[in-house]
Amino acid sequence: MKHLTPPRWADWLLERFVAPHLLEDVQGDLHEVFYKQAEDAGLANARRSFVWAVLNYLNPFFLKRKPEAYSKPTNTTMIRNYFKIAFRNLVRNKTYTAINVSGLALGMTCGILIFMLVKYHLSFDTFHTNSDRIYRFVTEQHRETISYRANVPSPLGKVFRNDYTFGEKVARIATAEDVVLTVKEGSEIRKFKESEGVAFTEPEFFDIFNYPLLKGDRETALLDPNTAILTEKMARKLFGAADPMNKLFRLDNKVDFRVTGVLKDLPITTDRKSEIYVSYNTLKQYNDWLASDDAWGGINSAMQCFVRLRPGVSPDEVEKFLPAYVKKYRPTNKNVHHYKLQPLADIHFNARYGGVITKTNLWVLGCIGLFLIITACVNFINLATAQALKRSKEVGVRKVLGSFRGQLFWQFISETGLITTVAVGLACIASALLLPFINDWFKVQIAVNPLADWQFMLFLPLLTLVVTFFAGSYPGLILADFQPVMALKGKLSQQNIGGFNTRRTLIVGQFAISQVLIMGMIVITNQMRFSTQSDLGFNKDAVVMLPVATESNVLTMKTLKSQFSQIPGVQTVSVCQSAPASNYNVWNTSPNYDNRAEDEAFSVSVKAADEQYIPMFGLKIVAGRNLFPSDTAKEFIVNEMFARKLGLKASDEVIGKALSLNDGNTKGTIVGVIADFHDRSFHEDINAICITTAPDLYASYALKINSATVQPTLAALEKTWSDRHPDQVYDYQFLDEHIANFYATEDLMLKLIQTFAAIAIFIGCLGLYGLVSFMAAQKTKEIGIRKVLGSSMGQILWIFAKEFSRLILIAFVVAAPVAYYAMNAWLKNFIFRVDLGVGIFISAIVGTFLIAFITVGFQSIKAALMNPVKALRSE
């Protein structure tokens, strides 16, 4: 009978698995059946059915143990206790909790937002297949200085494709921006103004870039002239819900297109913003010069050329062949053009070629985010160590009852973890609420979809973990190190906790950075005020700029001008190429003065305008006279800078001299000289200027209006303009707004630095508050004794003031040179700039003092007013 046993392992499994209070009879029953079967059906069968029966017991019902009367402590019991105690502590010290949570939440909000921003920028154009082999042709123009253009002469792409085999695919794309589209539907005509414009695109473009086509054939969609493909979004905008295929639209009242394909909406993270792609061979109907195969003469900012190189071809190799083109096609020009290849991954980040944001700036942002999180953690450490003394009894009892150092440490970490988790939750809510503003400020479109974003979902727990350990470790170690005897006798004092100097250093660091930011803020504000409010040399207030419609001729402009001037509220009307200060519509050319043999080495900015221009903008004539009204005869007015650049002693010497522009195509006499004015932003020096009548260049009506009746005047202007040009889109801009736009980057910078300064100061103040509570606790006895011996309240307050004045002064000594150096470098961007005066530094330190004293004031006064009996009787 001895060999008649069920499989040992099955028995073992059963014993492991089935709850002890059920095991005996279950096992007994199974064995009984086994023996019975072994006799009836044979051992093998019995063993098989035994195993099968045992396996059937492996379910939760049998696993569940009977609860025991006296529960054994498990791993989770202590942790539950930690959280319970932590929760009670946090609820008891509400101020402390609020300060910690808000500080951490603020720092982490910045951290989260900056993380999202940086990630957003890093994800640009990374979704194309073989994106490491995609390059853009760019041009370096070597003149007095090197200038960088993201464009090449239009024929370059074509000849490169034909001459060399380096490129797997080569695609040219010419973007016409600010266009008007018209869609005719029956008798109804709808107009759309598209600022992102229309891109004339070679079909290979869609081989290089991964923009999938939903409808239409990728191979043939853009082969024929006058064909177009739209994104879904654009198709909905133009044609509503109807099927856009084979629908027609008209571009700038010039060229018609038929829709042959629909693109999937472009991802947000791509630098190609155009949503309308039309066939490249239509370009000659739109802009003959740009489409020409001989247009080697100039570079148009509309034209870009992309290439996907063959595998294994390095860009350096290709660049060696490019200079040959300059020799071949531009034999008469000086060796100005240098064609290069720019990797796709560089396009978003290279400011030289119009990149959106540089990697350096992203790094700076990242560091600021990191810094803000670190300061928040530092505060936490400050406050937590200041609070540690209150916990000494608890630690003492725990140690006496057998807690290890490790357990106490983990207890504190779990407490920190609780605070951090709450803070992270708050930070997430705050980030979600702030995201629209961030999108607005940075002109980005970060979507609120954290769940679909694994990097973000990884970042959050990681942030929580790192912050918990960074903030919780030091206070945790201090708490865990308390001597139980000392702690229970109440003999512990702040001296035993130590680290006071560490905390001082941290505070100094925080304040140094706050002060750098404050100084930066003051300097940028000053410079912005200087740029936008100082006298530019012309009158920019209450000037409205209206566009000259594309089909206008001399007559329409004259009619419209006289119609405008009849509107009450309009004081003067001028028609011109651009305002005195403008970033676009400026024509730079090399002048030929007084029949000198060679063109001058400098370039002159030509501003075409009528005779009303100079009086209307209040430009000061220093010699000669204003232009005569004329449509043909060429008269020039130049500025003093022009005369100076010519090397003349007196500016009136130029009057009556001949001037020839544009290789002799525009000739005339100089009749007047005007005083210099700022024709560009303050980043740039004043250019040599030349004003002349040239109706074919006019692009804007400039109207001086009465500032008391702006709204009715604007309405009347719109009506007059739209009646004259029913198929165009009306648009207006105030000149001072346009000028303010020169400083959009600085404006963003100012907003940013204001925000960061505010946050840094706030966090710094939290830290200061922590330190002063700490000091107040530490000096309780000292203050008591001093008061008993007759100190006045002022003297006691001075104890605190002394400490903080010292810290802020040290911080200032650190901050001032850093701020000076940084702001000096920043101001170098401006030719016309404010001085870095002593005032800036004085106001920064006074401001910091003020804020610091408000912060510490309450705690110090409370400490100073305390009854000395309370402080002293405890011994």
Partner 1 sequence: MRRSFLGEFEEIVLLVVAACPAEAYGVTIWEDVQQQTGRTITMSAVHATLYRLEEKGFLSSLMGGATAERGGRRKRFFALTNAGVQALNDIQEVRSRLWQAIPPGKFQLIGFKN
CB of 75 to partner 1, least distance (A): 29
Which of 62, 148, 164, 732: binder of partner 1 (CB under 8 A)? 62
Is residue 732 at the binding interface for partner 1, with CB under 8 A as the rule?
no
CB of 2 to partner 1, least distance (A): 13
Long-range contact pairs involving 784-791 (C-beta distance under 8 Å, separation at least 24): 784/866, 784/868, 784/869, 784/870, 784/871, 784/872, 785/868, 785/872, 787/868, 788/868, 788/872
**Rg of the chain, C-alpha, whole Å:** 39
- Identify which of residues 64 and 84 has a Cβ nearer to partner 1 in the complex: 64
CB of 36 to partner 1, least distance (A): 8
Which of 22, 428, 648, 785: binder of partner 1 (CB under 8 A)? 22
Distance CA 365, CA 560 (A): 50
Stretch that binds partner 1, among 26-34, 333-341, 431-439, 669-677 (CB under 8 A): 26-34
CB of 4 to partner 1, least distance (A): 11
41-60: contacts with partner 1 (CB under 8 A): 52-53, 56-57, 59
CB of 74 to partner 1, least distance (A): 24
Is residue 32 at the binding interface for partner 1, with CB under 8 A as the rule?
yes
- Identify which of residues 19 and 457 has a Cβ nearer to partner 1 in the complex: 19
- Identify which of residues 43 and 542 has a Cβ nearer to partner 1 in the complex: 43
DSSP letter at 477 equals: H
Q: Map residue 280 onto helix, strand or coil.
A: helix
Helix (H) or strand (E) holding 808: helix 793-827
3-state secondary structure 361-374: HHHHHHHHHHHHHH
Is residue 409 at the binding interface for partner 1, with CB under 8 A as the rule?
no
Q: Which two tokens stand for residue 197?
A: 């414009």
- Identify which of residues 27 and 270 has a Cβ nearer to partner 1 in the complex: 27
CB of 58 to partner 1, least distance (A): 9
Given a contact cutoff of 8 angstroms between Cβ atoms, the answer to whether 701 and 575 are in contact is: yes
C-alpha distances out from residue 205 to 134, 200, 281, 463, 735, Å: 11, 10, 14, 41, 39
- Identify which of residues 24 and 132 has a Cβ nearer to partner 1 in the complex: 24
Is residue 31 at the binding interface for partner 1, with CB under 8 A as the rule?
yes
Distance CA 35, CA 47 (A): 10
Is residue 33 at the binding interface for partner 1, with CB under 8 A as the rule?
yes
Which of 16, 28, 448, 782: binder of partner 1 (CB under 8 A)? 28
Is residue 10 at the binding interface for partner 1, with CB under 8 A as the rule?
no
Distance between terminal CA atoms of the chain? 84
C-alpha distances out from residue 758 to 32, 110, 201, 509, 755, Å: 81, 12, 48, 16, 5
- Identify which of residues 61 and 70 has a Cβ nearer to partner 1 in the complex: 61
- Identify which of residues 31 and 236 has a Cβ nearer to partner 1 in the complex: 31
Q: Residue 783: how many CB atoms within 10 A of its CB? A: 23
Beta strand extents in 634-764 (DSSP E only): 635-639, 658-661, 666-674, 688-692, 700-705, 733-734
Is residue 29 at the binding interface for partner 1, with CB under 8 A as the rule?
yes
CB of 70 to partner 1, least distance (A): 22
- Identify which of residues 27 and 253 has a Cβ nearer to partner 1 in the complex: 27
Q: How many residues does the chain have?
A: 875
Is residue 709 at the binding interface for partner 1, with CB under 8 A as the rule?
no
CB of 47 to partner 1, least distance (A): 15
Pairing of strands 604-608, 587-589: antiparallel
Is residue 598 at the binding interface for partner 1, with CB under 8 A as the rule?
no
Number of residues that bind partner 1 (CB under 8 A): 19
Is residue 17 at the binding interface for partner 1, with CB under 8 A as the rule?
no
Phi and psi torsions of 800, nearest 5°: -70, -45
Which of 3, 8, 20, 25: binder of partner 1 (CB under 8 A)? 25
Is residue 782 at the binding interface for partner 1, with CB under 8 A as the rule?
no
Stretch that binds partner 1, among 20-28, 351-359, 481-489, 650-658 (CB under 8 A): 20-28
Q: How many distinct helices (H) and strands (E) make up the chain? A: 31, 25
Is residue 15 at the binding interface for partner 1, with CB under 8 A as the rule?
no
Given a contact cutoff of 8 angstroms between Cβ atoms, the answer to whether 337 and 110 are in contact is: no
Distance CA 219, CA 227 (A): 13
Give the CA angle between residues 128, 133, 135 to the nearest 5°. 90
- Identify which of residues 35 and 83 has a Cβ nearer to partner 1 in the complex: 35
Task: Work out the widest C-alpha separation in the chain, in whole angstroms.
Answer: 134
- Identify which of residues 62 and 500 has a Cβ nearer to partner 1 in the complex: 62
- Identify which of residues 52 and 858 has a Cβ nearer to partner 1 in the complex: 52
Q: Describe the crossing of helices 75-92 and 94-122 by its angle, rounded to 10 degrees.
A: 110
Q: Which two tokens stand for residue 428?
A: 């997430």
- Identify which of residues 66 and 873 has a Cβ nearer to partner 1 in the complex: 66
- Identify which of residues 33 and 697 has a Cβ nearer to partner 1 in the complex: 33
Distance CA 773, CA 855 (A): 11
Stretch that binds partner 1, among 31-39, 201-209, 298-306, 744-752 (CB under 8 A): 31-39
- Identify which of residues 45 and 559 has a Cβ nearer to partner 1 in the complex: 45
**Torsional sign, CA 112, 113, 114, 119:** positive
Is residue 30 at the binding interface for partner 1, with CB under 8 A as the rule?
yes
Short-list 608, 611, 590, CA closest to 599: 590
CB of 28 to partner 1, least distance (A): 3
- Identify which of residues 4 and 367 has a Cβ nearer to partner 1 in the complex: 4
CB of 405 to partner 1, least distance (A): 46
831-850: contacts with partner 1 (CB under 8 A): none
Is residue 61 at the binding interface for partner 1, with CB under 8 A as the rule?
yes
- Identify which of residues 22 and 801 has a Cβ nearer to partner 1 in the complex: 22
Is residue 663 at the binding interface for partner 1, with CB under 8 A as the rule?
no
Short-list 577, 585, 579, CA closest to 543: 579
Is residue 4 at the binding interface for partner 1, with CB under 8 A as the rule?
no
- Identify which of residues 49 and 532 has a Cβ nearer to partner 1 in the complex: 49
Which of 26, 434, 758, 801: binder of partner 1 (CB under 8 A)? 26
- Identify which of residues 34 and 677 has a Cβ nearer to partner 1 in the complex: 34
Stretch that binds partner 1, among 32-40, 279-287, 354-362, 708-716 (CB under 8 A): 32-40
Q: Buried (b) or exposed (e) across 401-435, using 16+ Cβ within 10 A?
A: eebeeeebbbbbbbbbbbbbebbbebbbebbeebb
Q: Which two tokens stand for residue 717?
A: 């202007």
Distance CA 773, CA 385 (A): 11
Please list the residues that pair with 51 across neighbouring strands: none
Is residue 316 at the binding interface for partner 1, with CB under 8 A as the rule?
no
CB of 32 to partner 1, least distance (A): 4
CB of 29 to partner 1, least distance (A): 4
CB of 71 to partner 1, least distance (A): 20
Is residue 27 at the binding interface for partner 1, with CB under 8 A as the rule?
yes
Given a contact cutoff of 8 angstroms between Cβ atoms, the answer to whether 850 and 515 are in contact is: no
Distance CA 13, CA 57 (A): 10
CB of 64 to partner 1, least distance (A): 10
What is the contact surface with partner 1 in residues (CB under 8 A)?
A: 22, 24-33, 35, 52-53, 56-57, 59, 61-62
